[in-house]
Amino acid sequence: MKITRLLIVAGIAVVAAACATGRTGNKSLEAYCAIEGNTDTDICKVNTAAVNRDTATRAVADKGVADAARAQSTADQALARQDGVYCETRTLNRTDTGTCSAGYTLVGCAQSRYTTRSGGPTVMREMDDTHCRFATRVLEIKARCCMVGAAAAPKEEVAPAPRGAQKAPQRTS
């Protein structure tokens, strides 16, 4: 009975020693998988997949860091320029065309005042970055003009329309 106990204890010691060295023995996982006969084992396949995944994850993270650095650089350059947006609203009377001062871009144009006697609201025929044009002459046009730059461009004065320049339509009844 003593010999049986001794054999059991010895067997347990051998199993414990085998477990202590692990599947790869005393080698690192990379060294174990570098051995030609071990490359097809499950542990090496899992290790290779993990290394590939980590490499791909690192590449995505590096690209994200590079993109963030480029965006920060662009933002820093924009802040250093200190450009501003400058806008003006020009009121043009008794005309069919709305324009902006030199250096400004037309962003909006509307007929803001009309009467039935002068023909009522009219149709806008054309609008681009420099001017807008209505089908007929209107009493008042509001032209919204904006620019981006370090300082606002000088604004041109709007010449007042002469009084009585627009005749009332003739009554036919």
Domain boundaries, the chain: 10-77, 84-149
Cα dihedral 85, 91, 96, 102 sign: negative
pLDDT at 163: 58
Asked which of 6-10, 19-23, 70-74, 110-114 is least confident by mean pLDDT, the reply is 19-23
CA 126/CA 99 separation, integer angstroms:
12
pLDDT tens digits, residue range 43-78?
777 777 777 778 888 888 888 888 888 888 888 887
- Identify the helix (H) or strand (E) that includes residue 137: strand 131-149
Whether the pLDDT of residue 153 is over 80: the answer is: no
Helix (H, G, I), strand (E, B) or coil at 1: coil
> Alpha carbon of 74 to those of 59, 62, 68, 70, 150: distances in Å?
23, 18, 10, 6, 17
**Could you tell me the pTM of the whole model?**
0.43
- The CA-based angle 15-18-19, given to 5 degrees, is 85
pLDDT at 117: 65
Whether the pLDDT of residue 168 is over 60: the answer is: no
Q: Which fold has domain 84-149?
A: Immunoglobulin-like (2.60.40)
pLDDT at 20: 44
Whether the pLDDT of residue 172 is over 80: the answer is: no
Does residue 119 come out as left (phi exceeding 0), alpha (psi in the -120 to 50 range) or beta? left
Task: Enter the tokens of residue 30.
Answer: 């990379």
CA 64/CA 27 separation, integer angstroms:
36
